[in-house]
Structure 1
């Protein structure tokens, strides 16, 4: 199939397919005499895997590692498990960061509701956002 057909079948742009090819995520396609790329039918499945892996938070480098294991004849399941475990840890850490930010914002909004703008001095830019002491 041609690149346009592959793009339509997978829902990614032709530019993305070319990028995946340059990054080694897709095998180099054969070329017709006019220079058009011709992809094997299995490439659509591979693009689907790449997109699903990205949705799971894996980087292109992570994905390349998984594909390399598969191409070497190894089942990459334990490697993928390890990658996903790491991603889950990152997500949980980020959720904690966001929870701290949420508490801080709620505190600032509560402070903001109780402040009288007339009490603001030029020395402090804004009482709503606390500034660390020098």
Structure 2
């Protein structure tokens, strides 16, 4: 590891992850505490790989707990593929729900902007929409 040892700044540059985020991941156990050379943390290639994994999982919207579970499953080999699929399927459901929410928000905002452009309402359509009672989603029958 001596030839691949790097300090936290280099790890940050290689992974695109903020230094404070790296320290945070160490505090919460997503990244192992690195050995130190004097007062400096010393990282290696395995740390670059693990941090890259964490960063990509976060970019896909996985929560920190989900990332922790994925890291644990990644260490399990092929037997864990079914468990990863379950976690990914649940996450996909969450992503689809957020997309549906964003589409609803887009419709409300687009309607409000059109109403503002029309200028027919005495008040502000967006303010009125925000004060309106929320419409509850219809349940499937």
| TM-score when normalising by structure 2 | 0.71
CA RMSD between the two structures: 2.4
Unaligned runs of 5+ in 1: 121-125
CA distance in 2 between counterparts of 1:10 and 1:106 reads 38
Per-residue deviation at 1:74? 4.6
Residues 78 and 108 from structure 1, CA distance in 2 versus in 1: closer, same or farther, beyond 3 angstroms? same
**What residue is the counterpart of 1:26 in the other structure?**
31
CA distance in 1 between counterparts of 2:45 and 2:69 reads 22
Q: Which structure is larger by alpha-carbon Rg, 1 or 2?
A: 1
Per-residue deviation at 1:49? 0.4
Unaligned runs of 5+ in 2: 134-141
**What residue is the counterpart of 1:4 in the other structure?**
9
For the 8 Å contact 2:9–2:19, the answer to whether it is kept is yes
For the 8 Å contact 1:30–1:38, the answer to whether it is kept is yes
Per-residue deviation at 1:114? 4.8
Aligned length: 123
**What residue is the counterpart of 1:35 in the other structure?**
39
Per-residue deviation at 1:19? 1.1
CA distance in 2 between counterparts of 1:9 and 1:127 reads 49
Following TM superposition, where does structure 1 have runs of at least 4 consecutive aligned residues deviating by more than 6 angstroms?
none
Matches for 1:92-111 after TM superposition, within 5 Å: 92-111=96-115
Residues 102 and 16 from structure 1, CA distance in 2 versus in 1: closer, same or farther, beyond 3 angstroms? closer
| TM-score when normalising by structure 1 | 0.75
Of 98, 115, 128, the match for 2:120: 115
Residues 114 and 65 from structure 1, CA distance in 2 versus in 1: closer, same or farther, beyond 3 angstroms? same
